[in-house]
Structure 1
């Protein structure tokens, strides 16, 4: 964490704040237009991100998510408003994506070796997790927003890793706005959200990573202004099992790690939470189904597909025409 004085930052400067969270790091780039107390801002950003992790982490036994997972079927569980907001969005994307995004994959994630329980696939655990998967998540979880509670209608295990980081970025954006920051870029892994444009008036330039395991390279650049972007792919977290590479993203309909020609999917949306969830859903859905789904919802989407040992771009909305208006390959 950078050392900050309690003095306000002078206007007209580009500042960067960052800190650890969720096994990675969050960061914020700020063009300071008015005097900003960087020390107070740093602390508030860190608290906001930590709150999301404490509520929604599947790795913390005392998280609100863990409490809900341990609760008996039919038992109402008191939950914070932030987690109810994320659950509501997760169930909405589950319904709209015909199950391609599913927050009920927790047992599958653990069984295949990507969770907190084990670091390799377990055949018996996989069989049990497959049998326990609900047909439709949005029909198996009931939310009561006014009362601040939720309950399960079947014995399921929730996992919000496909949406929680995006929500944490949204929380950072809210903190920035509350502190009077008008020009900033908040980031957490492959999820980013722009607050306004740069102070110069130009959009924020965000690198689109080339989906290659073991190396970091830029595939193109995306321009962001008051917009969020999220990317999901099969190239960062995976397991090598008997010569096969298993991606960490679960395909809830196959009850197994996603396996298709999609190298990565990038989605633009007004909130990073929704961009994050849809990037996961469209990765799982695959190119044909995913593009039809995204087109029907008029989404801005860029697929990078592995075809004949080459990467092929297929884009919609702002990424149409192979992304030439939004990316530089």
Structure 2
């Protein structure tokens, strides 16, 4: 049953995936939020338990350890995320690829990853430094997966976005139509506020070691996700390497992009495409966003300055210089 009176604002939050989730929504006065709070917590916990590389017994880690040429039964949610990841890999021509688990670990990211120094960096085996176009077959009808080549899957570039979509599903099922849910920079909005204004999302300034707002964007019935170089990185021999891996080169992404924000119909898609465009860089990424008629905001580092490149509906907007 849809709610008729949506005048009162409610806010819920909790811990998940090493950070916090938030849900802001409007409902009738005196609405009991206990059930919603429990469902939101269960939804994000389920995603983490299925898709985290940090949980030894997660469904993802079980799939990583499975034999080749062997069908592995997986939860429906995991199967959907894997299928979406493979689709974006194909459409991005390999810029987004979840088969980067070995690369992430080799470069010091992820669970049990080594500390990277100039000495440990040099002898990294070439088999780890490259990612093959490993074949992964996802059977959505039977919720099962088969690996045809050795690979280690990492869903850090898509799972958080899916968790946000699961939060949205919980609110939709409760009949809540005006909400904003999010985990860090991954957000999804439904409807507008009671005063008919859209939700306003802060665009974070891509600066390491601090949190500052660079600007804002309006969001209604859409999702946004951001990929950047300013939250997780390693410094080796005077050079900084961000955590986003380039599946083609087998190295951390290396270009002038500080961050990419993508608006899409689902947060899962926005999350994956933000990662892909971050890998492609300020030229190829912008071109692909235009070709696919996407909505994306690129923030480019030029020395100590930042420059914005906006693509709206596939159309390139005027670049803006920022401090």
Match of 1:90 in 2: 85
Change (3 A) 1:284 1:38: same
The structural deviation recorded for 1:21 is 0.6
8 Å Cα contact 2:185/2:225 also seen in 1: yes
8 Å Cα contact 1:304/1:312 also seen in 2: yes
TM-score, with structure 2 as normaliser: 0.92
Q: Which moved more, 1:236-245 or 1:84-93?
A: 236-245
How far apart, in 2, do the equivalents of 1:56 and 1:25 lie? Answer: 17
Moved over 6 A (4+): none
How far apart, in 2, do the equivalents of 1:35 and 1:316 lie? Answer: 42
Q: How does 1:7-156 map to 2 (within 5 A)?
A: 12-33=7-28, 36-121=31-116, 122-123=120-121, 124-131=123-130, 133-134=131-132, 136-137=133-134, 140-156=135-151
Q: Which moved more, 1:97-106 or 1:307-316?
A: 307-316
Report the aligned-residue RMSD. Answer: 1.9
The structural deviation recorded for 1:259 is 1.3
Match of 1:269 in 2: 264
Match of 2:182 in 1: 187
Match of 2:293 in 1: 298
8 Å Cα contact 1:143/1:150 also seen in 2: yes
SS in 2 for 1:286: helix
How far apart, in 2, do the equivalents of 1:183 and 1:162 lie? Answer: 27
The structural deviation recorded for 1:320 is 4.8
Match of 1:202 in 2: 197
Q: How does 1:236-275 map to 2 (within 5 A)?
A: 236-275=231-270
The structural deviation recorded for 1:119 is 4.1
Listed one character per residue, the Cα deviations across residues 157-202 of structure 1 (whole Å, up to 9, x for unaligned) are 0000000000000000010111111111001011000021112211
- Match of residue 321, structure 1, among 296, 317, 320: 317
How far apart, in 2, do the equivalents of 1:285 and 1:33 lie? Answer: 46
The structural deviation recorded for 1:126 is 5.0
8 Å Cα contact 2:189/2:199 also seen in 1: yes
Listed one character per residue, the Cα deviations across residues 13-33 of structure 1 (whole Å, up to 9, x for unaligned) are 221100001000100111224
Change (3 A) 1:126 1:247: farther
The structural deviation recorded for 1:130 is 2.4
SS in 1 for 2:286: helix
The structural deviation recorded for 1:35 is 5.6
Change (3 A) 1:11 1:98: closer
8 Å Cα contact 1:302/1:323 also seen in 2: no
8 Å Cα contact 1:194/1:226 also seen in 2: yes
How far apart, in 2, do the equivalents of 1:211 and 1:32 lie? Answer: 35
Listed one character per residue, the Cα deviations across residues 286-320 of structure 1 (whole Å, up to 9, x for unaligned) are 01111111111100011010124211111111685
Q: What stretches of structure 2 of length at least 5 have no aligned partner?
A: none
How far apart, in 2, do the equivalents of 1:222 and 1:126 lie? Answer: 43
SS in 2 for 1:14: strand
Q: Number of paired residues?
A: 313
Q: What stretches of structure 1 of length at least 5 have no aligned partner?
A: 1-9
Change (3 A) 1:126 1:216: farther
